[in-house]
Amino acid sequence: MRKELVQPVSSVVAGSHVWIRLVRTITMGARATETTRELESTSVKYQIGGHAEKMWQRLKGILRCLVKQLEKGDINVVDLKKNIEYAASVLEAVYIDETRRLLDTEDELSDIQSDSVPLEVRDWLASTFTREMGIVKRRPEEKPKFRSIVHAVQAGIFVERMYRRTSSMVGLAYPAEVIVTFKIPVPNLITFAEALEVGYSKYKNPYHNLIHAADVTQTVHYIMIHTGIMHWLTELEILAMIFAAAIHDYEHTGTTNNFHIQTRSDVAILYNDRSVLENHHVSAAYRLMQEEEMNILANLTKDDWRELRSLVIEMVLSTDMSGHFQQIKTMRHTLQQAEGVDKAKAMSLILHAADISHPAKSWELHYRWTMALMEEFFRQGDKEAALGLQFSPLCDRKSTLVAQSQIGFIDFIVEPTFSLLTDSMEKIVMPLIEEASKSESPAFGTPGQNSLGAVSNAETQRRHNFKTTASDGGTHTENSLATVDLTSFKNNLMQIIQANKERWKELAEEEELVRNVDEQEKDQSRNSTDAQLQEETRSIQNESSQGSDGTTCPTRSIVLQVVTSDTSLSDESNSEKCTNSDPNQKDLTDAQQETQNTDPLNGEPIHCKKSEDIVKATEQKQALVHN
Ligand code: AMP
Ligand code: ZN
């Protein structure tokens, strides 16, 4: 018994008879009862089946059994203590095991490995949305009114009370509640928003610019209202959501984390290659607020400030796409549990979903955003080429399959995210709706005590106010729980996503046709060049092999063989003969000298200086012949 008690946790986990040992230990320490015998047999069964959920239940049963024995006073205290300690260590082991299982994203990755997904798209999905690093991977008229962020901030915080009372400062409408509730100094808010605008425009990115920030902020606001989740969140949390969305890509460089890591940029060094950009976005935005005139959070209490900061950090870091599959898996697991949903996790999911929400918007918008992102990726590809680096997935403007990548993106990333989002919102909001409808408060405005905390007075007031009146005294918009229609919200999103996917499918067919024509043209020009080269080589060979006495050299066939194998660029041997990243590629002046091909291992384009190599090989062989 002693020996079993002192077993290290790891061996307990690894051991194949954990449960039987635990039961034996307990029964030997206490007294073998019918209950524990029954436990013994079922525990082993569950362990063999590897059913974690049931194992937990069993363990609970064992502990209850111990409690019963304790109640009966039928137990030796020393043994009991040891047994409880042992049970605790087993619990810990199961917990570690379970956590490890949760961290494992193998399942999701195996879905991507479907043959229907082009290799390039698979590589991109794996390298962008997991932590797998296998692949090395303002125009004045465009300037949007960054005021839209200010508006979104206001709207997000005071969804139900928007525009009721206004301030005339700089022509903007400021609900008095903005000032009253958080005491955000309006001039600071304006200075801060302007500084954000400058930061978002710093690198003149086609995609990660201030319009994207405003778009994501507005989308977060939309999700909060239309799912009813705002009724679950406190005002501070709503502020955190809107604020996080507004700053989430601040000073984005237009290049990916992988690019920063590969080029060993200052930020990559600063943040040790971990969520490099996301760390910078939060840090730099908070640095702005160190300036007094931009400190919009100056009047928050110390506790509120800390809570908001903690939420903002968690949310923005969760926009690092390499954590996508992990985030989805953890949240799915949470939904299966009886316990309430962790607020920070739910909020992070909302921001993550908003960040990749353009496929859930009209085709015109979605198409524009996609093309803007592709252009940003291609610019990174141009930089990579200039630096002699391998192209990152989707960054080669000559060969990227845009439509195919979008189908993969929607299938594997967007749809599962929005499906999880709507499921999560349902789990959180449905009980609130039921609770509110039972209490029959006007339009379900009465606050319910949610599972994760008490409701403040301000909250009570906010939830009672279910009607929003426009400042112009016009239309009334209800944002109450009674108006929440999650089914429509979900169906609407899913329909748009599907329709967009169909559009990409049509374009993918065209893309495929164009690609085939390109390939054929390339093949044709390759064949004619090859034939020409072979002819040239033959004549050189003839001259040299005939020699002065006109006799034929017996090694001629070897030379031709070398030429032939070096010209068959599509065969597998090619990957050995061509360098993946050719730092000299820029020096090639004759475009015909460079042939692009795809690495059969990772789908990455590879560059072969075909004719140059052939000539070199021919020269080498000729040297051999002459020696
Ligand atoms: P963020 O960089 O914070 O804006 O996160 C959004 C990320 O999602 C982008 O950087 C891309 O990696 C990815 N993403 C968004 N839209 C698309 C799209 N249409 N196609 C491919 N990836 C996308
Ligand atoms: Zn973003």
355 lines ligand 1 (CB under 6 A): yes
What pLDDT shows up at residue 385?
98
Check pLDDT > 60 for residue 611. Answer: no
Check pLDDT > 50 for residue 589. Answer: no
- Among 137, 356, 361, 367, name the best residue to mutate to test ligand 1's pocket (greatest count of ligand atoms within 8 A of Cβ): 356
Top-confidence residue, 563 or 187: 187
What pLDDT shows up at residue 572?
29
- 328, burial (CB in 10 Å: exposed 0-12, middle 13-18, buried 19+): buried
Q: At what angle do helices 402-409 and 486-546 cross, to 10 degrees?
A: 140
What pLDDT shows up at residue 178?
58
374 lines ligand 1 (CB under 6 A): no
Check pLDDT > 80 for residue 297. Answer: yes
Q: Which ligand is nearest to the CA of 380?
A: 1
What pLDDT shows up at residue 116?
76
Check pLDDT > 90 for residue 130. Answer: no
Give the ligand 1 atom nearest the CA of 320: 3
Residue 63 pLDDT grade (very low, low, confident, very high; cuts 50, 70, 90): confident
Q: Give this prediction's pTM.
A: 0.64
545 lines ligand 1 (CB under 6 A): no
Mean pLDDT over 129-156 rounds to 47
CA of 174 to the centre of ligand 2 (A): 27
Top-confidence residue, 524 or 210: 210
242 lines ligand 1 (CB under 6 A): no
373 lines ligand 1 (CB under 6 A): yes
Whether 165 and 214 have beta carbons less than 8 Å apart is answered as: no
User: What type of residue sits at position 418?
Assistant: F
**Which secondary structure element, helix H or strand E, spans residue 563, and what is its range?**
helix 556-567
Q: How far is CA 559 from the centre of its chain?
A: 52
Whether 380 and 256 have beta carbons less than 8 Å apart is answered as: yes
- Among 321, 357, 406, 501, name the best residue to mutate to test ligand 1's pocket (greatest count of ligand atoms within 8 A of Cβ): 321
CA of 200 to the centre of ligand 1 (A): 16
Whether 308 and 297 have beta carbons less than 8 Å apart is answered as: yes
Give the ligand 1 atom nearest the CA of 208: 4
CA of 199 to the centre of ligand 2 (A): 14
446 lines ligand 1 (CB under 6 A): no
What pLDDT shows up at residue 47?
39
pLDDT-wise least confident of 275-279, 514-518, 549-553: 549-553
Mean pLDDT over 199-215 rounds to 98
Residue 325 pLDDT grade (very low, low, confident, very high; cuts 50, 70, 90): very high
CA of 313 to the centre of ligand 1 (A): 19
- Range among 21-25, 394-398, 515-519, 547-551 rated most confident: 394-398
d(C-alpha 592, C-alpha 611), whole Å? 9
377 lines ligand 1 (CB under 6 A): no
3-class SS of residue 479: coil
User: What type of residue sits at position 288?
Assistant: L
What pLDDT shows up at residue 584?
29
pLDDT over 90, % of the chain: 45
- pLDDT tens digits for range 234-283: 999 999 999 999 999 999 999 999 999 999 999 999 999 999 999 999 99
- Range among 391-400, 472-481, 514-523, 603-612 rated most confident: 391-400
- pLDDT tens digits for range 410-455: 999 999 999 999 999 999 999 999 998 888 655 454 443 333 333 3
pLDDT-wise least confident of 74-83, 164-173, 304-313: 164-173
- Among 217, 247, 373, 412, name the best residue to mutate to test ligand 1's pocket (greatest count of ligand atoms within 8 A of Cβ): 373
For the annotated catalytic residues, the residue numbers are 208
- 11, burial (CB in 10 Å: exposed 0-12, middle 13-18, buried 19+): exposed
Nearest CA to 39 out of 12, 9, 69, 14 is that of 69
128 lines ligand 1 (CB under 6 A): yes
What pLDDT shows up at residue 457?
39
415 lines ligand 1 (CB under 6 A): no
Residue 490 pLDDT grade (very low, low, confident, very high; cuts 50, 70, 90): very high
C-beta atoms surrounding 556 within 10 Å: 18
What pLDDT shows up at residue 78?
81
- Range among 289-293, 554-558, 569-573 rated most confident: 289-293
d(C-alpha 28, C-alpha 4), whole Å? 11
Give the ligand 1 atom nearest the CA of 216: 4
Tokens of 484: 């929440």
- pLDDT tens digits for range 365-390: 999 999 999 999 999 999 999 999 99
177 lines ligand 1 (CB under 6 A): no
Check pLDDT > 50 for residue 569. Answer: no
Whether 86 and 9 have beta carbons less than 8 Å apart is answered as: no
pLDDT-wise least confident of 54-63, 201-210, 575-584: 575-584
Check pLDDT > 50 for residue 558. Answer: no
List residues, by chain if needed, whose CB lies under 5 Å from ion ligand 2.
249, 355
Residue nearest to atom 15 of ligand 1 (CA): 356
CA of 249 to the centre of ligand 2 (A): 5
What pLDDT shows up at residue 429?
97
25 lines ligand 1 (CB under 6 A): no
Mean pLDDT estimate for the chain = 72
- pLDDT tens digits for range 332-350: 999 999 999 999 999 999 9
- 600, burial (CB in 10 Å: exposed 0-12, middle 13-18, buried 19+): middle
Check pLDDT > 80 for residue 43. Answer: no
Q: Which ligand is nearest to the CA of 377?
A: 1
CA of 484 to the centre of ligand 2 (A): 27
Check pLDDT > 80 for residue 30. Answer: no
What pLDDT shows up at residue 542?
62
CA of 70 to the centre of ligand 1 (A): 58
- pLDDT tens digits for range 106-118: 666 677 776 778 8
C-beta atoms surrounding 41 within 10 Å: 11
User: What type of residue sits at position 89?
Assistant: S
What pLDDT shows up at residue 523?
77
